[in-house]
Structure 1
Amino acid sequence: MVKLAFSTNAYTRFDLPEAVRRIGRHGYDGVELLGDEPHAFFPWFGDDDLADVREALDETGLSVSNVNANTATGYYDDAPPSSFFDPTIVTGDEDDRVWRVEYTKRAIDLASAVGAPAVCVATGRPLPGTPPERAHEYLRESLDEILDYAESEGVDVGIEYEPELLVECTDEVLELIDDVGRDSLGVNLDVGHAAVYGEDPAEAVRRCAGHITGVHLEDIVGGRRGKHYHRIPGEGDLDFGAIFDALDDVGYDGFATLELYTYPDEPDRAAERSREVLERYVD
């Protein structure tokens, strides 16, 4: 049966242990750890930080659903908001690409240390001067190294597709998984991203059967081809009954994680209300 988790990326006004403790008060089975500022930004995340997180996990009894390494905003001091994916694993700058590969390995270290089954990674966008075909070459090279490391640690890697990124839809992520041909690579399926791209989220679940490392949940106003703004379930137009039916149909028994970073001013309300709306599908 699917289990519900909540991401700490809604709790960016709190440190990571406090975010875990607050999520633990709302009846979730799991918690996703944000692998970025202000939580686990890996160049500064040390042994003491890990010990504090483990203590919070022990206190709450929460399992870790995923380590979210989609962004690395701490890399730049002065980047515009649109650069939160950069540097990516497809960037043309070799030094930056190597940095991001190593950063992803540190996310895998954290996942291994706290018993998380997977990390998620977004491809980001090809920057000017790097055509998509070249970006795909960089992506394969980066993934080869990341997956070698992940397999040694017993952690899966889920590509999270998103409209306007190099890998932006179900077709493209499945093609990538097939081309790479390694069991440790799958998809962290964000149902809102599928909807905004114009896909039926429940159908995306069925198409990704056997490759889902994790699921991100949020509501979207407008449903398919709606606006990409993460909302509390019930405040948009997605059919969560159909989505959970699809997860049951494909035999998915992992975590479905609420990703509501859009509620930094009221994360507790977002966590509580989301569980109230969705618990009918998991109890």
Structure 2
Amino acid sequence: MVDLAFSTNAYTRHALPEAVERIADHGYAGVEVLGDEPHAYFPEFDEANEEDLVAALDNSELRVSNINANTATGYYDDAPPSSFFDPSVVTADDGDREWRVEYTKRAIDLAALTDAPAVCLATGRPLPGTPPERAHEHLRDSLDSILDYAEEHGVEIGIEYEPELLVECTEEVLDLIDDVGRDSLGINLDVGHAAVYGEDPAEAIRRSAGHITGVHLEDIVGGVRGKHYHRIPGEGDLDFRAIFDALDDVGYDGFATLELYTYPDRPDEAAREAYEALSGYC
């Protein structure tokens, strides 16, 4: 059976412990921790912050579904436009790329501390000067180091594909997993990302059977080939009955996490409405 979780990335106007407690109020079994500002930006997330998080988890009795290390916006004092994923594990600059590898290892540390099963990681984009073939070389080198560390700590790494990134669809992430050949590498499957790329989310789930480390849920207006804007389930056109049936068909029994960072002005409302829309499928 799938358990519902909610990401703290909707609660960016609240401190991390408060976000955890608010999410617990809406009936969720789990919480995804944003591994970035303003919650767990790892260069600044110290032992006291860890203790506060653990206390909030203990008080709320929530489990951690995932550490979301897709972005590292805290890296920049004045972030350039659309820098959400940069520096990434495919960035051309060796120093910046190594910084991102070490950042991901700190996410793995937090996953181990909180008993989270996985860390999700976006590949980033092949920027000008870094053609895709070279970016793939950087990705493989980065993953070798990250996966060695993840395996030592009993944590899985889920690649989250997204249109316009180096790895942007189900076929590409499955090819990467096959190429790397390590059981610790899987897919954090965002159903909305599958849809806006033009895939049937239920079919993407079935194709990914045995490799899913986590699931992100949101609705998309227009469904397949719709615009990439995360909506509360019921406000778009995705077929969540088909999505949950597919998760059941492949035997997935982990967390499905609502990722509604698009509602920072009303996260409690988004969390409540999403739970009401989806809890009947679990």
The interval holding the TM-score normalised by the smaller chain is over 0.9
Amino acid at match of 2:229: Y
* In structure 2, distance between residues paired with 1:84 and 1:166: 14
Q: Which runs of 5+ in 2 are unaligned?
A: none
* In structure 2, distance between residues paired with 1:13 and 1:129: 36
Matching residue of 1:69: 69
What do residues 215-243 of structure 1 show as CA deviations (whole Å, max 9, x unaligned)? 00000000000000000000000000000
Matching residue of 2:35: 35
Matching residue of 2:50: 50
What do residues 121-144 of structure 1 show as CA deviations (whole Å, max 9, x unaligned)? 000101110100000000000000
Q: CA deviation at 1:103?
A: 0.1
Q: CA deviation at 1:54?
A: 0.4
Question: What does 1:61-140 correspond to in 2, within 5 Å?
Answer: 61-140=61-140
Give 3-state SS (helix, strand or coil) of 1:4's partner.
Answer: strand
- 80-89 vs 141-150, which deviates more? 80-89
- 76-85 vs 188-197, which deviates more? 76-85
Matching residue of 1:240: 240
Q: Which runs of 5+ in 1 are unaligned?
A: none
Matching residue of 2:189: 189
Amino acid at match of 1:30: G
Q: CA deviation at 1:84?
A: 1.2
TM-score by structure 2 length?
1.00
* In structure 2, distance between residues paired with 1:105 and 1:52: 21
- CA RMSD in angstroms comes to 0.4
Amino acid at match of 1:53: L
Question: What does 1:201-240 correspond to in 2, within 5 Å?
Answer: 201-240=201-240
Matching residue of 1:263: 263
What percentage of aligned pairs have identical amino acids?
Answer: 79
Amino acid at match of 1:253: D
* In structure 1, distance between residues paired with 2:93 and 2:136: 14
Matching residue of 1:5: 5
Give 3-state SS (helix, strand or coil) of 1:58's partner.
Answer: helix
* In structure 1, distance between residues paired with 2:207 and 2:3: 21
Q: CA deviation at 1:80?
A: 2.4
TM-score by structure 1 length?
0.99
Give 3-state SS (helix, strand or coil) of 1:83's partner.
Answer: coil
* In structure 2, distance between residues paired with 1:78 and 1:66: 28
Say how many residue pairs are matched. 282
Amino acid at match of 2:100: R
